[in-house]
Structure 1
Amino acid sequence: MTALLTILGVLVFAIGMVISVSLHEAGHMIPAKKFGMKVTQFFFGFGRTIWSFKRGETEYGIKAIPFGGFVRIIGMLPPGKDQDPSTVRAASTGPFQSLVDNARAAEYETIDPADNGRLFYQKPWWQKLIVMASGPLVNVVIAFLLFGGLFMLYGASELQTTVKTVSKCVIPANEATPTRECDETKDKPSPARAAGILPGDRIVSFNGVQITEWEQLTPLIRANTDKPATIVVERDGKVLPPMKTNTILNQVVEKAGSEKVVNVGFLGVSPETKIVRQDLGYTVTQMGVITEATFHALLRFPEKLVGVAKAIVGGERDQNGPMSVVGAGRVAGEVASDQSITGEARFAFLISLLASVNLFLALFNFVPLLPLDGGHMVGAIWEGIKRGFAKLTGRPDPGHVDVGKLLPVAYVMASIFVVMGVLLVVADVVNPIRLNG
């Protein structure tokens, strides 16, 4: 049964990714066709063609390597200065496929004279911008719909004012590894334990401040440093006399997902959580929070890859580090087979995972470097600025911006992406991230 659930979880995640990638590429193709651009191919995957069919001038199909996809739009690069303008190479929106297709040294594909005016580079800058931005924007919409449906129909975990656990003693954050346990002969007892707080107690007030939600309590405790604290709790429906203790300075992680350690007041309690349905405003707020966290994760991506490389040769794998689609699929299978949680919770996690991957794909593709969509978007915007400035100043039209001049950058970046992808896939096979340790 466990194996079947694992396979089912991986299958659900894989189907979700196929749909997400296909919709991303459709986001490029649909506006391209609307603007009269010539689109000759729409494929999921790369490499050898497994199956395809042709409708109109566009071939649709599946290729052998199921990582990503591409849309082939004719004329994404203008011809070189010494090339016949009647011929132009077809380029694709897929990051790695476009590297090969856009190489100026490659053979150019002859186009029909009737295609003049339908080439990507010949179109207005704003049309090119829309075509390239629509792909990642589709991923943003998918992420929003998935997160929104999850939060509003299932709910999100909310911290309660009821205590779930009471720490036995004080362990600094830099020592709080899974193997570090409380040593009551050496470690100080936690202030909460010393005060007599028990799991199941509801925090009523802290230093005279009425507590209605846990988010109120955390900053109060942290700001109290090592000063006296008076705490009122409700136990078994009865409000107990005030408990007095001293919070102590301790090293804790600044916030969830952060690696920064700060010295703040410490009490030694953690809250119970409850799944509560949310509204649209919560979805928007959480999307902002997740986007910010994803942005910071992208900035630290190269640094994190060093740890991934070490994990391949036997080092410890960072459980909060990056993973490939293969790793995400393994996590999906692991959660799907975890019968210690409800079926609803497992399904909710899969939806959350798919939403998070879509948001990451969107932000990654917005990076303003070729061969990503963001590189082409920057070229279109720069063309609009140059042409607009020339028109305002009465200067001659400067013409199209040739993003082909950035092909050396594209080669370097694509090589880096390939190395990063291989590292992550290998690490996810030999030393995968496991939710349950």
Structure 2
Amino acid sequence: MTAYALGAFLFALGIALTIALHEFGHLIVARLCHMRVRRYFIGFGPTLFSFRKGHTEYGLKAVPLGGFCDIAGMTNQDEVTAEEAPHAMRNKPWWQRILVLSGGVAMNILIGVCIIYGLAVSAGIPNPNADLSARVGETTCVSDQVDAQNVAPCAGAGPAAEAGVQAGDIIRSLNGQPVANFVELRDRLWQLPGEDATLGIERGDQQVEIVVPVRPVIRLDSEGNQLTRGAIGIASAPPKDAIKTYGPVEAVGATTQFTGQLLSATLKGLAAFPGKVPAVVGSIFGGEREADGPISVVGATRIGGEVAQHSAWSMFFMMLASLNFFLALFNIVPLPPLDGGHVAVVLYEKIRDAVRKARGLAPAGPADYGPLLPVTAFVAAALMLVGGLIIIADVVNPVRLFH
């Protein structure tokens, strides 16, 4: 088996385990709350095999793109037998129902945290306190961009080298204004084509200023349009201590901090998800595929193989952690049939009954899911449609991390 095939297989297995453990999170909390779990299945479609243990049927279905944990009385539309009634989810306290509904999300976060902790004590994780100063790795010539990935060949010294900028210099300011990192420096230089830029440089124990003419060059935006930008011909050096390995105790704090950063980034990515779908659809018909756009399980599996082929195993496991965080946050979106949609209904019942109690009325019982069925069907259909389009894009125009 090639490294690519092994990586693809292992990442597909990781996705399957992620789904299985998400549903197991629901199952274990339901059991702890004495609810009746009827079925625990991985996948959808025809059943490949199943077995029964106690009151629960366990099994695997043909399409491993999801899974489900069927709990008796999960909604008011679900018929329960007299024997199931004491163990029905809808007859349990509201807080137990929310705990069960949140079990899968909690499991995904726990998996992600465990992966990050494992990396922190072995291969290392990004150091939040790393020195990200704009350190020059090398000086280069400058030329126009010819396509999404390449610039035209060039030779000789660029403006920065001609002005005296050297590898190892740390650029602290641009035109008298502080510079925090190399990305900020690049973005600000882009806005200065044809002008002179005064660089405040730290060179060993010396502080020097160098005036560099900013050369106009052609750059392409995400749609392929030509833009005139400024460039001086420098490339960044890797940040010092960008990846750090921690001891078992120290890794706890580092893992917590990095997990918070990943969850924040995942939340921003989730918010941007709808706006990126049109570009994915366009990529099916020859448009450029954005590297930070959404991918399906097919695309993730392919990238897993690509990462393994380049022996980037830390990235492999970081992708699995990110996948778990994405599934956790995606599932708390307050729309049925997602877990967050069911939690929203339980909270509605709680608020409704509090209002009724204030009016001297008895609790109204479980909410009627009937009016929500069209919304549930629409959301499910939309997710299937978007998921199908992303899978097609991952087949005909996949995201590639390595070129």
Tell me if TM exceeds 0.5. yes
Partner letter of residue 53 of structure 2? R
Alpha-carbon shift at residue 376 of structure 1 (Å)? 0.1
- CA spacing shift, 1:240–1:300, aligned 2, 3 Å: closer
Normalised TM-score (structure 2): 0.82
Instruction: Report the Cα distance in structure 1 between the residues aligned to 2:180 and 2:259, rounded to whole angstroms.
Output: 19
Alpha-carbon shift at residue 347 of structure 1 (Å)? 1.5
Choose which of 32, 54, 57 in structure 1 pairs with 2:55. Answer: 57
Instruction: Report the Cα distance in structure 1 between the residues aligned to 2:188 and 2:400, rounded to whole angstroms.
Output: 35
Deviations 1:367-415 (A, max 9, x none): 1000100000101111122223333443322222223421111111111
1:178 is aligned to 149
Instruction: Report the Cα distance in structure 2 between the residues aligned to 1:376 and 1:223, rounded to whole angstroms.
Output: 47
Instruction: Report the Cα distance in structure 2 between the residues aligned to 1:250 and 1:296, rounded to whole angstroms.
Output: 33
Whether 1:377 and 2:377 are equivalent positions in the alignment is no
Q: Matched residue of 1:69: which SS?
A: strand
1:426 is aligned to 392
2:75–2:369 contact (8 Å) kept in structure 1: yes
Q: Matched residue of 2:2: which SS?
A: helix
Deviations 1:265-321 (A, max 9, x none): 988441224532254333333323322222222222222121111211222222221
2:265 is aligned to 293
1:280 is aligned to 252
- CA spacing shift, 1:379–1:22, aligned 2, 3 Å: same
Deviations 1:98-153 (A, max 9, x none): xxxxxxxxxxxxx4322222222222211111111111111011111112221342
Matches within 5 A, 1:192-207: 192-199=160-167, 201-203=168-170
Partner letter of residue 302 of structure 1? P
1:231 is aligned to 201
Instruction: Report the Cα distance in structure 2 between the residues aligned to 1:249 and 1:132, rounded to whole angstroms.
Output: 58
Matches within 5 A, 1:29-178: 29-79=27-77, 88-89=78-79, 111-157=80-126, 158=130, 162-169=135-142, 177-178=148-149
After superposition, the CA RMSD in angstroms is 3.5
Instruction: Report the Cα distance in structure 1 between the residues aligned to 2:182 and 2:391, rounded to whole angstroms.
Output: 42
Q: Matched residue of 2:66: which SS?
A: strand
Instruction: Report the Cα distance in structure 2 between the residues aligned to 1:218 and 1:45, rounded to whole angstroms.
Output: 43
Instruction: Report the Cα distance in structure 2 between the residues aligned to 1:219 and 1:179, rounded to whole angstroms.
Output: 21
Q: Matched residue of 1:434: which SS?
A: coil
Instruction: Report the Cα distance in structure 2 between the residues aligned to 1:305 and 1:336, rounded to whole angstroms.
Output: 28
- CA spacing shift, 1:388–1:410, aligned 2, 3 Å: same
2:141–2:154 contact (8 Å) kept in structure 1: no
Partner letter of residue 341 of structure 2? G
2:279 is aligned to 307
Deviations 1:45-91 (A, max 9, x none): 11111111111010111111111111111112214xxxxxxxx44xx
Partner letter of residue 130 of structure 1? L
Instruction: Report the Cα distance in structure 2 between the residues aligned to 1:228 and 1:176, rounded to whole angstroms.
Output: 30
Alpha-carbon shift at residue 328 of structure 1 (Å)? 0.5
- CA spacing shift, 1:47–1:286, aligned 2, 3 Å: same
1:152–1:280 contact (8 Å) kept in structure 2: no
1:139–1:358 contact (8 Å) kept in structure 2: yes
1:317–1:433 contact (8 Å) kept in structure 2: yes
Matches within 5 A, 1:242-253: 242-246=208-212
Count of paired positions: 380
2:223 is aligned to none
Instruction: Report the Cα distance in structure 2 between the residues aligned to 1:178 and 1:265, rounded to whole angstroms.
Output: 17
Whether 1:347 and 2:320 are equivalent positions in the alignment is no
Partner letter of residue 195 of structure 1? A
1:105 is aligned to none
Normalised TM-score (structure 1): 0.76
- CA spacing shift, 1:112–1:395, aligned 2, 3 Å: closer
Alpha-carbon shift at residue 249 of structure 1 (Å)? 10
Alpha-carbon shift at residue 156 of structure 1 (Å)? 3.0
- CA spacing shift, 1:6–1:396, aligned 2, 3 Å: same
Choose which of 340, 351, 368 in structure 1 pairs with 2:334. Answer: 368
Instruction: Report the Cα distance in structure 2 between the residues aligned to 1:16 and 1:436, rounded to whole angstroms.
Output: 21
Partner letter of residue 364 of structure 1? F
Whether 1:319 and 2:291 are equivalent positions in the alignment is yes
- CA spacing shift, 1:407–1:250, aligned 2, 3 Å: farther
Partner letter of residue 65 of structure 2? F
Deviations 1:154-185 (A, max 9, x none): 1135556653233433879xx88423337689
- CA spacing shift, 1:288–1:405, aligned 2, 3 Å: same
- CA spacing shift, 1:221–1:75, aligned 2, 3 Å: closer
1:96 is aligned to none
Unaligned runs of 5+ in 1: 80-87, 90-110, 254-260
1:170–1:268 contact (8 Å) kept in structure 2: no
